[in-house]
Amino acid sequence: MSAGGLPGRARPGAGRGPKDPSLRRSLALFRAFLHEQDDPDACYALLARDAADQVEAYDGPVAGRIVVDVGGGSGHFTEEFRARGADAYLFEPDVRELAEKPPEGTVVADGYLLPLADGTADVTFSSNVLEHVADPQTFLSELARVTRPGGLIYVSFTNWLSPWGGHEWAPWHYAGAERARARYRRRTGRPAKHTLGENLFPVHIGTTLRHVRARDDVRIVSARSRYWPFLTETVVKVPGLREFATWNLLLILRRCPV
Ligand SMILES: C[S@@+](CC[C@H](N)C(=O)[O-])C[C@H]1O[C@@H](n2cnc3c(N)ncnc32)[C@H](O)[C@@H]1O
């Protein structure tokens, strides 16, 4: 069932976008990010297609499967999984993040405590949430709990030392979070959305990998750069360098049989 032996390579016929990894794909994603503010729908629709392709590359078609999207924000990912025939549900704690018309059946719930029985999901999906929770280990435990044995867990996050680690105040976070936030306010006239220690936390790749490897409820299928076109797994193997060069870590985990 798993295509885990072919990291980052879509099964024939499964992918809808350019090959992952490829320069063409990375450039398309980068161009979409440049328009995140003026055309968020197009940006997130592309990102959602890309992420769904990645899930299917590791786990086969999502059609007919239960997909749980934790911290899914606007719901673009949930909608994409539904468009592919999955029973997908959005769990999002912050109503301000929801779209005007969220996917039907959206649940306002915290990822630390999902209102789901153990082993409910075939695929548990969490894109760019881990760096926004104060206790990533508890968050990961909850993702593992709701995933059925043998099910797939997709977790990606932007690590703190990534050039994008400071989010809207990047790359000035290298000079310190407070200074970077103050600069953002001065330059834009708006307060920054993120405050370190409140809704953004310094998550590191090395620490996260050590934690995940020590767990007995999941095993790592792949640890790779999510968006990068080259050496996607190699870069993650180099301590130090990986914190700067990975940009965004994608962990594909398999829930261990219990
Ligand atoms: C950067 S957004 C990512 C949204 C979407 N998943 C994406 O990739 O575009 C971070 C999301 O994490 C959510 N979040 C923060 N803390 C959370 C928690 N404890 N449980 C679940 N989601 C959380 C936020 O409300 C927000 O929607």
Distance 111 CA to ligand 1 centre (A): 9
Whose C-alpha lies nearest to ligand 1, atom 7?
127
Lowest mean pLDDT, pick from 3-12, 136-145, 190-199: 3-12
* Cβ–Cβ < 8 Å for 134, 226: no
What's the confidence (pLDDT) of residue 243?
Answer: 98
Sign, Cα dihedral of 131, 132, 138, 141: negative
Q: Per-domain residue ranges for the chain?
A: 24-157+201-255, 161-196
Architecture of domain 24-157+201-255: 3-Layer(aba) Sandwich (3.40)
What's the confidence (pLDDT) of residue 166?
Answer: 98
What's the confidence (pLDDT) of residue 258?
Answer: 65
Mean pLDDT of the region 183-187: 98
Distance 15 CA to ligand 1 centre (A): 25
Asked if the model's pLDDT at residue 5 lies above 60, the reply is no
Question: In which band, very low, low, confident or very high, does the pLDDT at 20 lie, cut at 50, 70 and 90?
Answer: very high
Quick one: which of 44, 46, 51, 41 has its CA closest to 14? 51
Whose C-alpha lies nearest to ligand 1, atom 6?
72
Mean pLDDT of the region 97-110: 97
* Closest ligand 1 atom, residue 44 Cα: 9
Whose C-alpha lies nearest to ligand 1, atom 5?
72
Report the relative pairing of strands 66-70 and 87-91 from DSSP bridges: parallel
Asked if the model's pLDDT at residue 4 lies above 90, the reply is no
Distance 62 CA to ligand 1 centre (A): 22
Asked if the model's pLDDT at residue 185 lies above 50, the reply is yes
Tell me what percent of the residues of the chain surpass a pLDDT of 70. 93
- Choose one of 47, 113, 129 to mutate for the ligand 1 pocket test, by most ligand atoms within 8 angstroms of C-beta: 129
Cβ within 8 Å of residue 12, ≥6 positions away: none
What's the confidence (pLDDT) of residue 118?
Answer: 98
Distance 13 CA to ligand 1 centre (A): 30
Mean pLDDT of the region 54-75: 98
C-beta 92 within 6 A of ligand 1? yes
What's the confidence (pLDDT) of residue 17?
Answer: 80
Asked if the model's pLDDT at residue 11 lies above 90, the reply is no
**Alpha-carbon dihedral of residues 232, 26, 82, 93, nearest 10 degrees?**
80
- Choose one of 55, 132, 158, 226 to mutate for the ligand 1 pocket test, by most ligand atoms within 8 angstroms of C-beta: 132
* Cβ–Cβ < 8 Å for 82, 52: no
Asked if the model's pLDDT at residue 74 lies above 60, the reply is yes
Whose C-alpha lies nearest to ligand 1, atom 1?
128
